[in-house]
Amino acid sequence: MHQALLIDEIIQIVLDLCLDFGDGSTLSRASRVCRAWRDPALNRLWHRLIDVTPLLQLIPGLIRVNGVYLQAFESPAHPDLRALRSYSSRVKHIKTRQSVQLHPSVSSLLSSVGNGLFTRLTTAQLSLTNCHSFCPMLGPSDKLERLDLDLGFKNSILPSTNNAASELLGDLPNLTSLSLRGSASEQVLRAVSAVSNLRTLSLRISTSLDSETILAISAFPFLTGLELHAVHIRSTKLAEKWTARGGAPCFPSLKSLSIRARIALIGTILHHMQSDQLQSLYIDIEPVVQSDDSWTALFNIMKDKTPFLHDFTIDHHVDTDPIGLEDSNANDSNNAPVVPNNATAIDFEDMLRFDLVRPLFKLHDLKRLVFDTTPPIVIRDEDFTQIATHWPKLAHLELGTVPTVDPRWVPQTSLKGLVTLSQKSTTLISLVIPIDMITSVDVVIPKQSHPANALRKITITSLTPPDATLMAKSLDTLFPCLQVIDGTSEHEMEWSDIQAMFQGLRAIQLAVRG
């Protein structure tokens, strides 16, 4: 062997290539080339584990009977586990959803191994409904930093998975990121409430989440990222508890919040939050009709509590069938929409409107703004001047898509709005916007665009098919950096023509400049 192949830096490059372009057998053979290559090759081979079966096969006398791993009758009471220790200590990442069932005697044997088995493990992603008996092999672990557990969504809480989760959570001193989904027991919730060193936490545990857990995690001093599914949590009780605690910490370090809940609870959390560094906010609002007052209350809280917000998304969808929208038969009682008992007959103007968003004009650092709503937010051409004025750093804007070809859903924007954006919102890189093609034909398009306009991607939806020639020429003129154009799927042929014409115009420009 050439001496250069014994230089550590070169060994690393060779083995990385084996990892990227070969399979496990390549690294296995590399580990047998020489002593200098053995450990680096094996470390890469066992670095990431998606199947724990190879490890279990290293336990002397272990057999599988009816899907359960157990020790053979003639196997030693204290088998030699040196090989298991050697290889498990090389694993840094585990991700498995495979079914692994260990006999209690095997679990007990593995949990009794001194100093643990996975001494270098840093991340683990497990489906505990399939491998809860495997958990004793993971602990104790002072290196595990990120843990993702699927507890299973069942009508009732699964004791086996929840017991395994709570035991594992109790012995991870350096855990900084935790994700739980499924149905969690009170024991698991109490274990979560005690892991106060967490930096990021995701709790998608349906109705098993309680207000006491939210109260506990709000005091975590280092928590910067939080995801909650809390549709069932009522805001009044939580607000009372926070008020009763006086000056106790309440999300003092939060920078990112993703929450699915009723709008009142979202407002309550933001109101009591002590951090003024929130940069990302994603709200998935329970699909019920919201009044103007509830939207305004939320946005007024955000105005004061999220001054440095960069990224804001509203995800809110109302069933369009029961919504009473103006149409040509509005006065015909036989054609009036049928409204369920728990719904309210509203028209398009009663939904989220851009004028309700005005409190957010104070958030001058916004870079990404998404209104993923059904129906789309009501916005008019004249509103785009306000967007450019108050959000000068905006790079990504989504104003929703036309959800149906129902003629009652008519966008209030036209090509005139695109003209305003092209001239005044020059930092915009991507845009999703619904447009009324009928009123767009009368819009006068300027002969030249703003030289600093940076838009590269646009998605346009409409009720009626676009005029391919008009749209291609308009987009070519307004957005000199535009590269990607998407449109309504129902008008696929027209948008294919637009894309072809647009590329043709750009090719002509290149030829002229060349």
* Residue 221 counted as domain residue: no
Per the DSSP assignment, residues forming a β-bridge with 434 are 461
Checking if the pLDDT of 290 tops 50, the result is: yes
pTM recorded for the entire structure: 0.86
Residues 57, 186 within the same domain: yes
What percent of the chain is modeled with pLDDT above 90? 50
Residue with tokens 């739980």: 180
Residues 141, 38 within the same domain: no
Spell out the residues 6+ positions from residue 280 whose beta carbon is closer than 8 angstroms to its own. 255, 256, 257, 258, 309, 310, 311, 312
Spell out the residues 6+ positions from residue 454 whose beta carbon is closer than 8 angstroms to its own. 426, 427, 428, 429, 481
Q: By the 8 A CB rule, do 310 and 341 touch? A: no
| 442-493: pLDDT as tens digits | 887 887 767 788 999 999 999 889 999 999 999 999 999 999 999 988 899 9
Residues 31, 136 within the same domain: no
Strands (E) across 353-490 are located at 368-374, 396-398, 430-434, 457-461, 484-487
Checking if the pLDDT of 328 tops 50, the result is: no
| 39-58: pLDDT as tens digits | 777 777 788 888 888 888 88
Residues 81, 139 within the same domain: yes
Checking if the pLDDT of 73 tops 80, the result is: no
Checking if the pLDDT of 238 tops 50, the result is: yes
* Residue 176 counted as domain residue: yes
Residue 322's pLDDT band (cuts 50, 70, 90): very low
* Residue 313 counted as domain residue: no
Checking if the pLDDT of 331 tops 50, the result is: no
Last residue of a domain, one of 206, 221, 238: 206
Check residue 440 and give its pLDDT: 85
Residues 70, 55 within the same domain: yes
Checking if the pLDDT of 70 tops 80, the result is: yes
Residues found in the chain: 514
Per the DSSP assignment, residues forming a β-bridge with 373 are 316
Strands (E) across 402-456 are located at 430-434
Residues 192, 166 within the same domain: yes
| 354-409: pLDDT as tens digits | 999 999 999 999 999 999 988 889 899 999 999 999 999 999 999 988 865 556 67
Last residue of a domain, one of 188, 206, 224: 206
Check residue 494 and give its pLDDT: 95
Checking if the pLDDT of 31 tops 70, the result is: no
Residues 117, 175 within the same domain: yes
Residue-wise burial string across 310-328, b where 16 or more C-beta atoms lie within 10 A, e elsewhere:
bbbbbbbebeeebbbbeee
Strands (E) across 72-183 are located at 93-96, 101-102, 123-127, 146-152, 177-182
| Overall domain count for the chain | 2
Average pLDDT over residues 265-294: 87
* Residue 106 counted as domain residue: yes
Per the DSSP assignment, residues forming a β-bridge with 70 are 63
Q: By the 8 A CB rule, do 69 and 56 touch? A: yes
Residue 260's pLDDT band (cuts 50, 70, 90): very high
Check residue 311 and give its pLDDT: 99
Check residue 292 and give its pLDDT: 64
Q: How many CB atoms lie within 10 A of CB 172?
A: 22
Residues 37, 135 within the same domain: no
Tell me how far apart the alpha carbons of residues 184 and 157 are, in angstroms, rounded to a whole number.
Answer: 6
* Residue 275 counted as domain residue: no
Residues 149, 62 within the same domain: yes
Question: CA torsion, points 376, 462, 489, 426, in degrees to nearest 10?
Answer: -80
pLDDT greater at residue 488 or residue 125:
125
* Residue 29 counted as domain residue: yes
Checking if the pLDDT of 4 tops 60, the result is: no
Last residue of a domain, one of 206, 236, 262: 206
What single letter denotes the amino acid at residue 320?
T
375 cis-preceded (ω within 30 degrees of 0)? yes
SS3 (DSSP) at 193: helix
Closest CA to 224 of 260, 171, 259, 177: 177
Instruction: Record the tokens describing residue 71, joined without a space.
Output: 């020790």
Spell out the residues 6+ positions from residue 274 whose beta carbon is closer than 8 angstroms to its own. 249, 250, 251, 252
Tell me how far apart the alpha carbons of residues 502 and 466 are, in angstroms, rounded to a whole number.
Answer: 14
* Residue 37 counted as domain residue: yes
Residues 57, 41 within the same domain: no
Check residue 492 and give its pLDDT: 92
* Residue 172 counted as domain residue: yes
| Largest interatomic CA distance in the chain | 91
- Find the domain containing 14 and state its range: 1-45
Residues 37, 147 within the same domain: no
Residues 142, 88 within the same domain: yes
